[in-house]
Structure 1
Amino acid sequence: MTEIKTQRVYAGAPGGWHSILVDRVWPRGIAKGDLDVTWLKEVGPSTELRTWFGHDPEKFDEFAQRYRQELDGSDALDELLHEVRGYQRVVLLFGAKDEEHNQAVVLATLLRERLSG
């Protein structure tokens, strides 16, 4: 089974892991040539959902539910699943400061569910 973890993009891409950036917007202060990652921006939450969430931890559970609804049956999720299946170790990179309440956490949980079933 594929091992999946999440990490802030500003910590850099860890060696030995296939790195996937899951933000819709490229992270500030990082040049595109500085990261060796696969960028799947379409898997990131919509602008409307990101704006509503505003990285408010109290809204996280509802954010996760709405985000999963956005992803349900989407081509972006299918693309992510296809990308992940080819690797033993995958890290989902994100730009948010909050390491517990962000889309990568939701995606990691969703991927584990889909890959185990």
Structure 2
Amino acid sequence: MTIRCKRAYEAASRADGRRFLVDRLWPRGVRKTELPIEAWLKDAAPSPELRKWFQHDPARWPEFRRRYAAELAANPAVWQPLLEAARQGTVTLVYSAHDPEHNNAAALRQFLEEATASAAPAKPPCASRRGRARSARHR
């Protein structure tokens, strides 16, 4: 599973896989016909209140991530399609912020990766020990 982040102002490439715009606002100066995306997932973006509070301030990044994760956890229907797409191949989360490290796409990618890790099935219990005991009895 590969989830990437890329600015809306960067050229699309085949390596991007399926591209989804994850900003609540359309990127400034970009025509809708010029941005190759599969879908615009406004509802996967932070709430307007959270976006305004954050203001892309790196000092607020840890708290922004915590609040955004809480918003996402409360509404899995907005991010489940991204997770399903990522399980099928590469997904690129498209965003317009200037900072490549402190933006909603980066926080969303981390949330999705953590959701995948926590949803991974636990390793099955070791059945071979039980099987060996049986075979020893039947000898």
Question: Normalising to structure 2: TM-score of the pair?
Answer: 0.76
Q: Deviations over 1:52-86 (max 9, x none)?
A: 00000000000000000011131212233234333
How much has 1:92 moved relative to structure 2? 0.7
Q: Does 1:66 align with 2:93?
A: no
Q: Does 1:9 align with 2:8?
A: yes
Q: Which residue of 2 aligns with 1:94?
A: 95
Question: Normalising to structure 1: TM-score of the pair?
Answer: 0.90
- Asked whether the equivalents of residues 40 and 80 of structure 1 are also in contact (C-alpha less than 8 Å), the reply is no
Letter in 1 for 2:36: D
Distance across 1 between alignment mates of 2:11 and 2:51: 23
3-state SS, counterpart of residue 113 of structure 2: helix
Q: Deviations over 1:76-108 (max 9, x none)?
A: 12233234333x111111000000001111111
Distance across 1 between alignment mates of 2:113 and 2:80: 14
- Asked whether the equivalents of residues 43 and 80 of structure 1 are also in contact (C-alpha less than 8 Å), the reply is no
Q: Which residue of 1 aligns with 2:105?
A: 104
Gaps of 5+ in 2: 121-139
RMSD between superposed Cα atoms in Å: 1.4
Would you identify which runs of 4 or more consecutive aligned residues in structure 1 move more than 6 Å? none
Structure possessing the higher radius of gyration over alpha carbons: 2
3-state SS, counterpart of residue 5 of structure 1: strand
How much has 1:21 moved relative to structure 2? 0.8
Distance across 2 between alignment mates of 1:91 and 1:84: 9
Could you tell me the percent identity over the aligned residues? 41
- Asked whether the equivalents of residues 2 and 86 of structure 2 are also in contact (C-alpha less than 8 Å), the reply is no
Distance across 2 between alignment mates of 1:31 and 1:85: 30
Letter in 1 for 2:69: R
3-state SS, counterpart of residue 28 of structure 1: coil
- Asked whether the equivalents of residues 23 and 94 of structure 1 are also in contact (C-alpha less than 8 Å), the reply is yes
Alignment: residue pair count: 115
